[in-house]
Chains A and B, each alone.
Chain A
C-alpha cells in the first residue's frame, strides 16, 4: 500500500493544528511584541472546559465547545487586563512580560492539574466511534476534517478581519506603532484586550479539537505552544499568513521526516527546521 497519501493527510492535519496556534500567537505578538508563553495553556483551558461541561456536566458537545472557546478567550482577556496591561503601563521590558507570562502559564497549568488530576482524559465517550473519510487514499477522521476546516476558516477570517474592517485597521496600526496609534485616538489597550480574547479563544479551539482527535492532559499546552511558535517564527513572526504557511511547512517536514525513522524524531526535526531558519532566514518565510 502506498503510504504517501496518508503522510500528506497527516501533514495537513498537523499543519492545521499548528496553524491555529501559530496565527493566534502571531496575532497577539503583532499587537504586543512580547512572547506570550501563556498562549500555550489556553489550549488546555479550552479542552478541560469542554471536558467539564460536556463530559462531566453532560451538556451537548456544541454548547460545551462554545463555552470552552469563550472561557479560553475570557481568561486571555483577564490576563491582559490584570497582568500584562499594568506591566505595559509601567513600561516593563519585554523580558519582564515574558517572565510574567511564564509564571501565568505555570500557575494555570498547575490549577488544571489540581482540579482535574494529571491523568490523560478523552473528550469523546468511546474509541472508534468517529466517522472516517477516505480522500485520495488517505484516511482522515471527522474530527480531523473539522481541524482542517477550522484552520482554513480562522486564517481566512483573521486575514479578512485585519484587512477589511475598521477594527482590523486599528489592530494593524497598533501593531505597527503603538505610540502613534494612541495619539491619533486609538484605544490601544482596548484593542489589545480584544486581540487577547480572540487569540486565546482560537488557541482554546485548537486545544478542544486536539482533545477530540487524541486526548487531553494538563501539560498539553507546552508542546502545542512550542510547535506553534516554531511555525510562527519559521513563517514570519507577527504575520497571520506567515504563521499559516510556517505551520503547514512544519507539518509536512515533520511527517515526511519520519518516513524512514522513528516518530520520536518529530520534535527534533521541528527544532532542526527552526534552527535552519534562525540561521539562514531569521525573519521567516514572509520576512517580517
Chain B
C-alpha cells in the first residue's frame, strides 16, 4: 500500500497552474524518482507535501493521516516526513554540528531550556556527519562550506530526523563525482533500512541505478509512471524532455 498519496491535487500561482489534478501514490520502502522538464511542478509538489505551500484542490494521504486538505509545517515531523531543498536551506550562522544538534533537540522546549548536549546526542550527530564526510568540518559555520558540502549537510540534517519518508529535491545537482557516490550510497542505505525515498533528479543514469519506480511530470500533470527502464524509453517522455 502506498505510504503517501495525492488525489487530484491542484496548486496554482496566480495565473500559473503548477500542479494540475495530480493523483499519484508512493510505495513504502521504495525509491521513487520524479522527473520532468524544468517548470513541470516537481519542486512545487514537494513544497506542497511538506506543508510549505497551501494547495487549492484535492487531498493528500500520508502514513495514517487521511484526506488532508491542509498540511501544517509543524506536523511534518509527525507525519514522518523530512525533506531537502533544491535551493539549499541551512541555518547559515550556526556551525555544521549545531545544524544537526538542533534537529536532535528534545521536542519539549522546557526540558531543553538549560540543557546542553548529551554524549548520546553527540554520537548521533557524529554518525550522520561522518556519513557525509563532514565530521572534520563540524566547527565551521554552515555559510562557510562549499556548495557541495552544504548540499551534503542538508542531507545529513534530513538523516538526523530519522523520518520514514525522505523527499529529496535534486540532491545530486552540482555535486562532484565523489560526492555523488556518497549521496547515492546514502539513498540505497535508506532503502535498506526500510525508508521511503522520493527523489527529484535529472540524471537518467542515476534514476535507473537507484529507483524502483519513476513518475514523469509535465506541465503539472502526470505524463507517465512505472519502472524506469520502460518509462524512460517511452516516446512521449523523451519528447517532453527534448521538446516537441
A residues with a Cβ closer than 8 A to B are: 164-167, 169-170, 172-173, 176-177, 179-180, 182-188, 190-191, 194
- Selected contact of A182 from candidates B76, B82, B91, B116, CB within 8 Å: B76
Whether B107 contacts A184 by the Cβ 8 Å rule is no
Whether A166 contacts B50 by the Cβ 8 Å rule is no
22 contacts between A and B (CB under 8 A): A165-B112, A166-B105, A166-B106, A166-B115, A167-B114, A169-B101, A170-B112, A172-B91, A172-B93, A173-B94, A176-B91, A176-B94, A180-B89, A182-B73, A183-B51, A183-B76, A184-B77, A184-B102, A185-B103, A185-B161, A188-B74, A190-B109
Chain B neighbourhood of A187, CB < 8 A: 74, 107, 109
Whether B117 contacts A166 by the Cβ 8 Å rule is yes
- Selected contact of B113 from candidates A165, A173, A176, A179, CB within 8 Å: A165
Question: In angstroms, how far is the closest chain A Cβ from the Cβ of B221?
Answer: 27
- Selected contact of A165 from candidates B74, B83, B116, CB within 8 Å: B116
Report Cα–Cα, A173/B102, bound state, in Å.
7
Whether B91 contacts A186 by the Cβ 8 Å rule is no
Report Cα–Cα, A135/B125, bound state, in Å.
50
Whether A165 contacts B114 by the Cβ 8 Å rule is yes
Q: Is the interface of B mostly helix, strand, loop or mixed?
A: loop
Chain A neighbourhood of B105, CB < 8 A: 166-167, 169-170, 186
Whether B93 contacts A184 by the Cβ 8 Å rule is no
- The total of Cβ contacts below 8 Å across the A-B interface reads 82
- Which residue of B has the minimal Cβ distance to A176? B91
* Residue B52 interfacial (CB < 8 Å): yes
Interface string of B79-111 (1 = CB under 8 A from A): 001110000010111100010011101110100
Given A173-B91, A176-B93, 10 other A-B residues pairs in contact with their CB atoms under 8 A: A165-B114, A165-B115, A166-B105, A167-B113, A169-B101, A172-B91, A173-B94, A183-B81, A184-B103, A187-B107
Question: In angstroms, how far is the closest chain A Cβ from the Cβ of B156?
Answer: 12
Q: Is the interface of A mostly helix, strand, loop or mixed?
A: helix
Whether B109 contacts A194 by the Cβ 8 Å rule is yes
Report Cα–Cα, A194/B161, bound state, in Å.
24
* Residue B157 interfacial (CB < 8 Å): yes
Report Cα–Cα, A182/B82, bound state, in Å.
11
Chain B neighbourhood of A173, CB < 8 A: 91, 94, 102
Given the interface contacts A169-B105, A176-B94, does A184 sit within 8 Å of B116 by beta carbon? no
Report Cα–Cα, A186/B93, bound state, in Å.
17
Whether A186 contacts B83 by the Cβ 8 Å rule is no
- Selected contact of B92 from candidates A165, A176, A194, CB within 8 Å: A176
Whether A191 contacts B109 by the Cβ 8 Å rule is yes
Whether B82 contacts A184 by the Cβ 8 Å rule is yes
Report Cα–Cα, A186/B75, bound state, in Å.
10
- Selected contact of A172 from candidates B82, B94, B103, CB within 8 Å: B94
Looking at A164, A185, A187, the one whose CB has the most chain B CB atoms below 10 A away is: A185
Question: In angstroms, how far is the closest chain B Cβ from the Cβ of A90?
Answer: 13
Report Cα–Cα, A71/B83, bound state, in Å.
41
Report Cα–Cα, A165/B98, bound state, in Å.
11
Report Cα–Cα, A185/B105, bound state, in Å.
9
Chain A neighbourhood of B94, CB < 8 A: 169, 172-173, 176
Interface string of B160-173 (1 = CB under 8 A from A): 01000000000000
Whether A183 contacts B52 by the Cβ 8 Å rule is yes
Question: In angstroms, how far is the closest chain A Cβ from the Cβ of B9?
Answer: 19
Whether A182 contacts B157 by the Cβ 8 Å rule is no
Tell me the B33-92 residues at the A interface (CB within 8 Å): 50-52, 73-74, 76-77, 81-83, 89, 91-92
- Which residue of A has the minimal Cβ distance to B50? A183
Chain B neighbourhood of A194, CB < 8 A: 109
Whether A170 contacts B102 by the Cβ 8 Å rule is yes
Report Cα–Cα, A173/B77, bound state, in Å.
16
Report Cα–Cα, A182/B50, bound state, in Å.
10
Chain B neighbourhood of A185, CB < 8 A: 74, 76-77, 103, 107, 161
Question: In angstroms, how far is the closest chain A Cβ from the Cβ of B84?
Answer: 10
Report Cα–Cα, A194/B91, bound state, in Å.
20
